[in-house]
Amino acid sequence: MDKFIIEGPTPLKGTIPVSGSKNAALPLMAAALLGDSPSVLRLIPKLNDIYTFNNVLRVTGTRVDFSDDDNRLTIDPENLSFLEAPYDLVRKMRASFYMLGALLGRAGEAKVSLPGGCAWGPRPVDLHLKGFEAMGINIDLDKGYVVASMDGEYTEGGEFTLEPSSVGATVNLILGAVKRAEKFVIKNAAKEPDVVLLCSMLRKMGADIDGVGTDQLTIRKVERLQGVEFFNSPDRIETGTFMIAAAMHPGSDLTLTGCNPSDLGTFPDFFDKLGVHTEYIGNEIRIVSAPNINPVSIETEIYPGFPTDLQAQWATLMTQASGKSVVTDTIYFDRFSYVPELNRLGANLKVDKNSVTIEGKTPLAGASVMSTDLRASVSLVLAAMAAEGRSEVLRVYHLDRGYEDLEQKLNAAGASVERHSE
């Protein structure tokens, strides 16, 4: 099992290219199953979750060719015949549950294992299943599998209100409806860039979707969808993570390339309050750190609000701010496994229900810490880079799920991060 050995403190200077978004790529990969011809997806990151989902697709009989050299993924569903996503693959990643909508859309039936993923917080799929039932799909549970079927080739559709709004459920219902529902309306739909990008790809394939980018989507079935060539979007969470990394290290002057700042929602508004210098120039963002960081409290919200996938990194940044701040997660109430690990490095964080209070500024010193999930893992890397001396970050396989070439990118900008196998 790999670990990182990190020497700090290390300011970041130079440039870091932002990779394609994993969270946006997975729905695009599922959508490719709906085409009558191959699709070619560009800017697909080399990540364990991508490789896992490639294998989920292959199980169905789909041909999947991933070119690591140029991040190009070709998906040909011509021979798709096995309408099942098995437990041994789906348990590794919750997003594999998108296969329910994709197989329903493709063939009108599906058998998909209940999902796995990061070990924090309840993220039930009940919302997905209720939405499919509102669409007219028959849903049964059988020994840990969801079995979905239809009484005919199509359903009349209907409407469904997502309470709460959910990216995963919105994606799944879109995939299921575009070829199977006469008319289906999703209310309180997620407006995240990942959902907008999926709808853009499906429209290019020939889908009939109105209301893209709003909280109400209206989908009318089409008989056929064609394969397309389509570009994934830059990873907005990776962008925010590297912005935070630069801000928390005095002496940093970092430029991020290949970004899409418009996908960041309100995150730049909070970032501007820190007192660091930030420039947005086209698809580049330059961050010049300041001697002192202002404490900035945040609450996570659905897009375009502050993303839950950046709250651990923000709390880590606040350990180096001059004063007290509070980070509250209103999306997931159990996403604070990083707190005791940060405290081992010398931070002063206290959790109360779904909030953590950070007393800054605290000097950090190297220690051994344990990763528990994807975003917690990267927050520990950021802290170790700011700490004095040597740190070990254990179980970095979590990072390989969501950050492409992380140590190479950081080291190219002046960090000292070495990967070791235990």
- As annotated, the binding site for UDP-N-acetyl-alpha-D-glucosamine includes 94, 123-127, 309, 331
Annotated binding site for phosphoenolpyruvate, which residues?
Answer: 22-23
Q: Is 118 a catalytic residue?
A: yes
Rounded to whole angstroms, how far apart are CA atoms 359 and 92?
36
- The helices-and-strands tally (H runs, E runs) of the chain is 13, 24
Three-state SS at 359: strand
CA-CA-CA-CA dihedral for 235, 132, 84, 64, to nearest 10 = -30
Ramachandran angles phi, psi of 124, nearest 5°:
-70, 155
**Whole-Å CA distances, 369 to 11, 25, 161, 214, 373:** 21, 30, 42, 42, 13
CB 324 within 8 A of CB 357: yes
**Whole-Å CA distances, 190 to 174, 195, 344:** 11, 7, 37
- Tell me which residue of 372, 414, 305, 365 sits closest to 120, measured CA to CA: 372
CB 300 within 8 A of CB 306: yes
| 3-state per-residue secondary structure call for 177-198 | HCCCEEEEEEECCCCCHHHHHH
**Annotated catalytic residue: which of 34, 118, 384, 386?**
118
Ramachandran angles phi, psi of 176, nearest 5°:
-75, -30
Cα-based angle 302, 117, 108 (whole degrees, multiple of 5): 85
Q: Which residues are catalytic?
A: 118
